[in-house]
Structure 1
């Protein structure tokens, strides 16, 4: 159908023509939209890679021209179709090796290595070297050099850049593992080391000072220096800056000491690596650690008394420090309490090394006349009566010497009353008194011990707690948090609130 016929049909049938045009336009729009999305989804290489690939393609075409002429003049391919099929075999092989080398490089790349092109990369450079022959065969030395450099050599270099530049941009710190790259890095490092620039992050001035320091060390280690040597040594010292820089002077002295004492290195005793060294035994446990472990298992009061027996001359503060050193943290007040408790039930301490008690002389007869029912002479009678309470500090009997009234025998008459109860253990007495105080405190109505302002605040908190917790009374934990008091005070406030609510 021609354009005139299509126009006539559209004029004759406008509605079908409009529907067909709309459908065609929609189809073209959808195809264009899909094509745009597909193009945008393609992950193109960086611009540098694209430019390098374009340059490599042009240089490959430049090399193909030499191959076209070489195939006709040197290889005898006079047929046009035969040359058209075969002249660019080397160029196509170069392109194929470049693409495969790039794929191999991307496949073998890791986080710290850029990968290697492998066999395709080596074949690419071999093909590049073969393509140089047609260039010299067709254009001679001068023209062949131009053809070789611009054609196959430049094509090989640009293909190498095109296949490796993208990976370097993604991971700039990655190192290439190819053989030429490894040889190049090794030669570069050796050259920098030979020139004295192997240490990085140094300025030119610092490199000059280090070289001058090394020269001064070399000259200063010589046994004899002539006038020219002394002048060179002075110049090296001035250039090194060791006179004004402490770090440079320290480095100079250390290097000089090492160089002058190099002969002593042969006689330095070393441990043979072929002889197995004995394993040192573990350190034994110290007496301090063993004693501390035993004391930590005991009650603090018993631990204090045990340390006091080992150090009888130590005071409360010193005993507290010793116990803390052993791993039993106690205060000076606890130490004093333990010492007083230990003395309540203790008897008199008599030194066995003291001399024997001297004999007492008899008292005059007139002293015994006033004593009713006195025993025979040379006796002393004491009337003892029990007291309702004996002070703790006098419970322990003390040694009394009747120096004023010398007697050879002492008798005591005790009233016929029931014998007093035995003195209980000091620790049991402390615990019993604490229990009695707690019981006496618990018997007192707690509401009387709560201040009025604290009770008023507690009633406000209780009302708020009942409103938000379905009428339940406030808990002790809520009272502690709201009033900022401890557990005993919170219990007193809770009991006071309970008494008011029942009344």
Structure 2
């Protein structure tokens, strides 16, 4: 029996054959591994969407069979090639509209609304309705009904579910914005309102009582207008039954509601003569509200004030804010200030302690006995954090405001001529002659006349007072 040349070559060359086989197996394994990784990396839709999509495909194929028969029997497409190209136009259009409706719904979806399918969503149901016609034309009433329900109708429904179920699952409380959905919600609400079921959080017993109360009010008003007549007895019995069903005899709240409704109905004629104020006269035009500013001051007024005064006004209006927040508020009001300026205005101190800073108590100052001290005023400052690296405690500091004259240097050499100077000083006239009204300073006087600082100070004061 003749063998294939490829087999003969493989038998004659075992090592190249083994190499080629191993390489082929490795390439095939790598290809399968890459395909498996790619499939696993896909983001698959939820299981309900997959099941609905599979059902929609089967129902679309069922509808395609009907279209194939209808194209040959009714449309005269005898050629198989022509029929194969044309029979599935409706199904393909249905699938395309479903995909576009899904894209529109996803694009217009928000947190509060599920989105609208738009024109493609309407075309899905139009195509479904048109595809019902071939079903009845091909199989009659009974068979056509089966073909229509299982084919185009179920295909449209399942495509609708497959393309829109994911958004409804992600946002179950969202509302559809399509025209049929809006009309359906409006009709449902109106029907519930007409039946007296629109008010939520009511039990069936309470709904029955409210209906009986409304009926009792209506019958009592009619009996007041027509107390006699051939229907008066029936109305009285109906009124008694309605009052009994309302529970007004045992329920104080229900009885109050009944009396209030009856009083409103009996006195409804007084609405025509109730005095009312005219809305066309005396109504002030509402002014444009000013933005929120401290203590009712407008932004324009703040911008004309001193920045430090603005800082104090803003701080009074927002006492809990930090200096940075007060600076931000002032900037928003049109008065740009920095955090440093706010701290200076509020005397809040620095926000960050400088490095290597410690508070060292000053040594007591030695005041000479011949220096007269002026009155000193002291006040207790509010406790505030002191920037200390060693301890981060809170200290209470005493601020002293005093005006103390600077004493003369005790080590300064006083000239001999300054020790016993008569009063008035004879140098005053000499300085006035030399300099006139241009009184020199203390240092020039000392250098020019060789006198001490105290005498130069006295001469300058005397010349300054007489000049």
TM-score normalised by L of structure 1: 0.52
Matched residues in 2 for 1:128 and 1:2: separation? 60
Deviation at 1:178, TM superposition (A): 1.2
Residue 241 in structure 1 maps to residue 243 in structure 2: no
The 3-state SS of whatever aligns with 2:242 is helix
Q: Deviations over 1:75-133 (max 9, x none)?
A: 11111111111111111111111111111111121221111111112222221121111
Matched residues in 2 for 1:154 and 1:202: separation? 39
Q: Could you tell me which residue of structure 2 aligns to residue 156 of structure 1?
A: 156
1:180–1:476 CA distance, 2 compared to 1 (3 A): closer
Q: Deviations over 1:2-57 (max 9, x none)?
A: 885687478x439x947973x65655554444433332332222222222222222
Matched residues in 2 for 1:137 and 1:94: separation? 20
Deviation at 1:275, TM superposition (A): 3.4
Q: Deviations over 1:203-247 (max 9, x none)?
A: 211211111111122123230553332322222222222233333
Size of the alignment, in residue pairs? Answer: 294
Q: Could you tell me which residue of structure 1 aligns to residue 210 of structure 2?
A: 210
Q: Could you tell me which residue of structure 1 aligns to residue 403 of structure 2?
A: none
* Residue segments in structure 1 that go unaligned for 5+ positions in a row: 281-427, 436-467, 470-474, 481-485, 489-503
Q: Could you tell me which residue of structure 2 aligns to residue 13 of structure 1?
A: 15
The 3-state SS of whatever aligns with 2:175 is coil
Note the 1:50-449 alignment, pairs <5 A.
50-222=50-222, 223=224, 224=226, 226-278=232-284
1:273–1:26 CA distance, 2 compared to 1 (3 A): farther
Matched residues in 1 for 2:284 and 2:120: separation? 57
Note the 1:436-475 alignment, pairs <5 A.
none
Matched residues in 1 for 2:148 and 2:124: separation? 15
Matched residues in 2 for 1:99 and 1:266: separation? 60
Q: Could you tell me which residue of structure 1 aligns to residue 47 of structure 2?
A: 47
1:116–1:248 CA distance, 2 compared to 1 (3 A): same
1:24–1:242 CA distance, 2 compared to 1 (3 A): farther
* Residue segments in structure 2 that go unaligned for 5+ positions in a row: 287-374, 380-388, 399-467
1:155–1:279 CA distance, 2 compared to 1 (3 A): closer
1:477–1:7 CA distance, 2 compared to 1 (3 A): same
Matched residues in 1 for 2:75 and 2:284: separation? 81
Matched residues in 2 for 1:143 and 1:114: separation? 38
Deviation at 1:183, TM superposition (A): 1.5
RMSD: 3.5
1:241–1:68 CA distance, 2 compared to 1 (3 A): same
1:28–1:274 CA distance, 2 compared to 1 (3 A): farther
Matched residues in 1 for 2:41 and 2:81: separation? 40
Matched residues in 2 for 1:171 and 1:75: separation? 46
Deviation at 1:276, TM superposition (A): 5.0
Q: Could you tell me which residue of structure 2 aligns to residue 339 of structure 1?
A: none
Q: Deviations over 1:160-182 (max 9, x none)?
A: 22222221111111111111111
1:86–1:249 CA distance, 2 compared to 1 (3 A): same
1:263–1:165 CA distance, 2 compared to 1 (3 A): same
1:25–1:238 CA distance, 2 compared to 1 (3 A): farther
1:279–1:183 CA distance, 2 compared to 1 (3 A): closer
Matched residues in 2 for 1:247 and 1:121: separation? 51
The 3-state SS of whatever aligns with 2:114 is coil
The 3-state SS of whatever aligns with 1:75 is coil
1:7–1:208 CA distance, 2 compared to 1 (3 A): farther
1:279–1:98 CA distance, 2 compared to 1 (3 A): closer
Matched residues in 2 for 1:20 and 1:132: separation? 57
Matched residues in 1 for 2:98 and 2:285: separation? 61
1:35–1:275 CA distance, 2 compared to 1 (3 A): farther
